[in-house]
Amino acid sequence: MTNEVIPNLTAFDEAALGQAFATLERQARDAASALGSPEAVEAFRLHWLGRKQGLLNEVSSRWLKAAPPEAKKALGQRFNALKSAVEALLDAASGAGPSDAALAAEAIDITLPGSRRLTGAEHPITKTLNEIVSVFAALGYSVGVGPEVETDFYNFECMNFPPGHPARDTQDTLVVANQDRRPQRDRLLLRTHTSPVQMRTMEQQAPPVRIVIPGKVHRNDATDATHSPIFHQVEGLCVDTNITFSDLKGTLDHAMKALFGSSVKTRFFPSFFPFTEPSADVQISCIFCGGKGCRKCKHSGWIELLGCGMVDPAVFAFAKEKQPAYDPKKISGFAFGMGVERIAMMKYGISEIGQFYAGDMRFLGQFA
């Protein structure tokens, strides 16, 4: 180890301090470059960083104590820089990396269980809705959406529910307050079905049209085991030339088999809906007993599931006001609608509709 000399400082300006500390750092680098054994490295450490006889300790004692108050800050900064440089030279000479404490702080205990991020799952209503939509998407239907807050015109009038029509009473409507001064057709309400999207689509698109409409609807229904004031529907509309009731039956028969299995049968009964003529209710053979009769199908072997029919010419007349191509003498079409909750309750054996909305993770976790 060379015998480095600590000179006495007689000036403490920037130039004098820079020259003095540069000299010491050069001496340290020269000494470190000659280290060739662990013993030499240890001697270097004691010579420069020793707590009693180390050169840096002597620098601190002689220079810092002798410095005037205005020079102590600059001298202290240069001293810290020199000490860091010597420590870096020592680490390089000994091949040392980060300290043991630093390594321990960064260590990962691989015996501990990993942090698992829980993944979500589709809500049974969303899952069922997507299944229904996918069946019709495979048949070439596109998906339509529309506002949940609708006007009386789109929700009722253009669907052949004129003001005062008794069929309006079958859909207890939630209306927006304080609209008495508006014309009847402009008054706002929460849509009672997704049918308004059918008219909005026809106004924007000339036939042919094949569209399926999933969405949330609202009715002023009392809550019980099978009813809720908020529920979901999927409606469909097909318009083209030479569309017949046979096309409607074939489409829905295929859809029911896709949803409930190829063994399911369908049958149609006459019904009434203002926007279709003729209209029908669709029943499927009981998926629980195979049509033999059980408590769930009231021992009939059949379960009523949805409504449908051929689009009433009066509906086309409203669409014709903006799209002349909807001439009921040249085109025809069918429409259908089904409740998503009802189908989900059948598919998953759920007896209480309120379970869908309660947010009980124990219930929803069954569908993950």
Average pLDDT of the chain is 86
Tens-digit pLDDT profile for residues 305-359: 999 999 999 999 999 999 999 999 999 999 999 999 999 998 888 888 888 888 8
Q: What is the mean pLDDT of residues 18-43?
A: 81
pLDDT bucket at 276, cuts 50 / 70 / 90: very high
Residues 150, 237 within the same domain:
yes
Residues 50, 188 within the same domain:
no
| Residue where one domain finishes, among candidates 106, 141, 173 | 106
Q: 10 Å Cβ neighbour count for 82?
A: 20
The upper half-sphere exposure of residue 229, i.e. CA atoms within 13 Å in the direction of its Cβ, equals 9
- Type of residue numbered 9: L
**Token pair for residue 291?**
């049509």
Which of 104-118, 163-177, 303-317 bottoms out in mean pLDDT, i.e. has the lowest? 104-118
Q: Does a structural domain hold residue 271?
A: yes
Residue 2 in this model has a pLDDT that exceeds 60: no
| Residue that wins the pLDDT comparison between 252 and 49 | 252
Q: CA nearest 288: which of 238, 214, 349, 243?
A: 349
Q: 10 Å Cβ neighbour count for 306?
A: 23
Cα–Cα distance between 32 and 2 in angstroms, integer?
11
Distance of CA 272 to the CA centre of its chain: 40
Q: Range of 59's domain?
A: 14-106
| Residue where one domain finishes, among candidates 47, 78, 106 | 106
Residues 210, 315 within the same domain:
yes
Residues 65, 164 within the same domain:
no
Residues 67, 148 within the same domain:
no
**172, 214, 231 from 218: Cα distances, Å:** 9, 13, 7
Tens-digit pLDDT profile for residues 53-92: 778 888 777 777 777 888 778 878 888 888 888 888 877 7
The answer to whether residues 29 and 89 touch, using CB atoms and an 8 Å cutoff, is: yes
Cα–Cα distance between 354 and 338 in angstroms, integer?
18
Q: Does a structural domain hold residue 117?
A: no
Q: What pTM was computed for the model? A: 0.66
Residue 1 confidence (pLDDT): 47
Residues 210, 278 within the same domain:
yes
Cα–Cα distance between 189 and 192 in angstroms, integer?
9
The answer to whether residues 192 and 216 touch, using CB atoms and an 8 Å cutoff, is: no
Number of domains in the chain: 2
Residue 361 in this model has a pLDDT that exceeds 60: yes
> For residue 55, which phi and psi values (nearest 5 degrees)?
-65, -35
Any bridge partners for residue 332, and if so which?
240
Map tokens 């009939």 to a residue. Answer: 300
Residue 158 confidence (pLDDT): 94
Q: Does a structural domain hold residue 300?
A: yes
Residue 103 confidence (pLDDT): 62
Q: CA nearest 220: which of 165, 154, 278, 174?
A: 174
**Token pair for residue 149?**
């807050």
The answer to whether residues 218 and 196 touch, using CB atoms and an 8 Å cutoff, is: no
Residue 213 in this model has a pLDDT that exceeds 80: yes
